[in-house]
Chain A
Amino acid sequence: MKMEDREKLHHDDFFDRFLDRAVDAVLREPPPEELPPEQVDELTAVVRRAAEKPRPITLLKRSKNMKRIAQMTIATTVLAAIGIFAFWMVSGGSDNLAFARVAEALDSLRSATFDITTEAKGENGQPPAIATGKGFFLAPSHQRMEVTVDMGYEPAIKAAEAAARRAKGADSPEGKAAAKAAAEAMTKAVADLPKIKFKQITISDGQTDKCITLTPMAKIAKVMDMKKMKEDMKKAGKLAKNAPPDMFEMVRRIVREGSSGSGEKVERLGKKEIDGRETVGFRTRFHGMNMILWADPETACPVRIESSSDMMNGVHMVMDNFRYDVDLDPTLFSLEPPKGYSTQTMNMKMPVEEDLLNTLRTIAEHNKGKFPAKFGMNDEVMNALMPPYKPVMDPEMQAEMKKVMEKITAKYGGEEKLRAKYGKGKKLPPEIMAEFMKATMTLQQKHMQKQMQKSMKTTTPLIRKRTRGITFYTMLKPENDPHYVGGGVKLGTPNRPILWYKPTGGEKYHVIYADLSVKQVSAEELPKLPQAEDNPKP
């Protein structure tokens, strides 16, 4: 052993002994004087007051629920918007005459309405989330999508159940019985409350490149101008040459010119009876969208469209109950914010590579330092990107809440009596507990608009900023050859590629590493990772 090594060992040994002595000195210190009983009482009172303080927004504070609602509305809007146009664009050539007829039929339609149902399978033991909605189309380029997600009272019921279980012991038979009783009492209490539905309306005009999103519950209108984004896309070569001004015109052009479109091969699915009508089916894929279209063989109009996207894992959407050439009120497609709505104006810009890096960083930082298994609009990514919902309880609501609580307490003989009967050791019966919770929820519903307005003011710009990277990735075309291979990789790992793509018009690939550095390499120098074969972006 070298002299320095021996000295180091000796040195470390001294430090170990010194540390042991120092820790021992801390542990052996005489304990502090006991807290006087009145100080313990004061502490207990402070803690009790904090614990008894009504929880703000029981229904909404569960940010997971809000994240899921946001995910569902975004997924439905995107799937519906892409879905309805995409199959028009994959109009068949001579070998797909039947499919081409569908496109022709749509080319001549004046207006249409349809129903939308989106289902996202539950992750981590959650039940599936369902969004329903209605779509409206008015030629030449107006579209309106109304998406509704039933917020339900499940979080409140679960909260009552969990509180009762905790009070009696999590795994004990008493705990289980108490949880069951609390859930039943809560279900009964909320049965007569009006259903809370989160609704979002998106109206767009493909010719003016304008879009407005309305949230009636919060009375918020988000006005988006896509012109700048389109110009940027044109500059960056992302917009096709001689590009049609909007999706509808593109569809028409494709159909008129008898082009075969940019989609993959259309597969015939044969005949099927839907709602008592005979239909013929086609399956196709377009930019990562899987679509099944069932059309009426007589009119060639779609009867049912089923779609899912590789980017939105586990989300499945159905559009049906199509009605064609119906009279629609043009005001349905107004791009002006309705009266009484507060307006947020957004100038949409084309996302750039830096946005992708920022989004990847945000996801990893909110995902225990690791990159997600899949990069798209899935639960793991959305949970990381959506900021926690922090409702702000205003003084008016707080005062009202206090009054309501006092009223219920008085009904049972006052606080003293309730505490004497059920306090310390004993608990409120589930019926009384449910009554308190129901009163809280009724108040929350009354004040929901104000609460949501306050919350959305700060969260909306943040969500938009954080999701720009996903938009960037979604906009990459197959010729950009994008691959995501970052699943489970720790942020900051040096020399570990997580994503690569070839910029439009560029000769070299951009490889993004886990420390979010970017290198430009030729196709031959691309990383050889087995995951890359499994995770090519659609």
Chain B
Amino acid sequence: MTPLLPWFWGRLERLAVDDPLHLARMRWVIGVLLLAFLMPSYQSAAQLPEGLLRPMFATLPWLSGHIVGQPVLLAAELVQIFALAAVTVGLRARWAGVLFASSAWFGFSYSYAFGKVAHDIYPFIVVLVMGFGNWGTALALWPDPPVSLRRARRPQVLLALGLALAMVSAGLPKALHWLDFDLGTSGFLAWLLSSIYDLDRGGSCWWFMHLPPLVHELADISTVLMEMLGIVVLLLGRRAFLLWLAALAFFHAATAVALGIGFFTNALAYLVFLPPRPHPRRIFPLKPVSIAVGLIALAVALGRLLDPSLDFTASQIPSGTLAWVVAHTVGCSVCGAALLMSARRTRSSHR
């Protein structure tokens, strides 16, 4: 075997967090917040005529050419909620994660079958993939069987590589068009105009229209750098990776303010890479309390599903309104701050 593979995977292996209890806490944080605030709904797809179908390649509606009925999509939402609740309280989190991701894939296959794809899949993939490590083995009602140390690092390594490549998928087309160093053109401005005029997200977006062309150009360059750097940062060690994740989270906060586009779920998912504190303070509740909070989050998700008028969550606040902007900005900033502080504690040559 050439030395390339051990070197490459060895560099990425440095990014993994081993402590099962810490990972379980991150599982709980992500599960509770997704359940309480961010569960997607798919039933709208059943309201639309099949003549509007533009399904994505190799999905169920692409294969069948039909939309399933509203009760089927409602069932997918129920399965998704209960499966995520099982992940959250640690009820065989590994297979509950598979069920959660499968129901989300099923639902999104239909709700994204009409020409719009929101590309918000990363948190769902995180819940699916992390189950194959050790995040379901602690703080759990019915723990997963533990996985040996190095095998348990595989999920996080794959998620880190997947995130970096996904960022390249967003950054490369921008790099080809936006890096023209011409103050007469701007990619950020194109997003801004679309947010204001196509999507009616006024509010804070207007303020950014008044910035000088140089700032718009710098926004283009920094966006491309941010999205393209990940693939290099992966190989530099945990500290650089955490700094990149923190920068991404703050970048998502800025995107919420400037464009009314929310990526809080992504920022939340980056927390699976957060290393434990050397001397953890008691900021996480004990197991019975954490399970009770998980069940409350389940009740909130079910209540919202059964009676949409109870919905007070971020997913229902119209994008671009003050409450929505504040919720997303604060959420992303808290994740960014946590990642930044952990980077400060991490030596660059960790492990």
**A and B bind:** no
Using a CB–CB cutoff of 8 Å, the interface residues on chain B facing chain A are none
Binding site for B on A (CB under 8 A): none
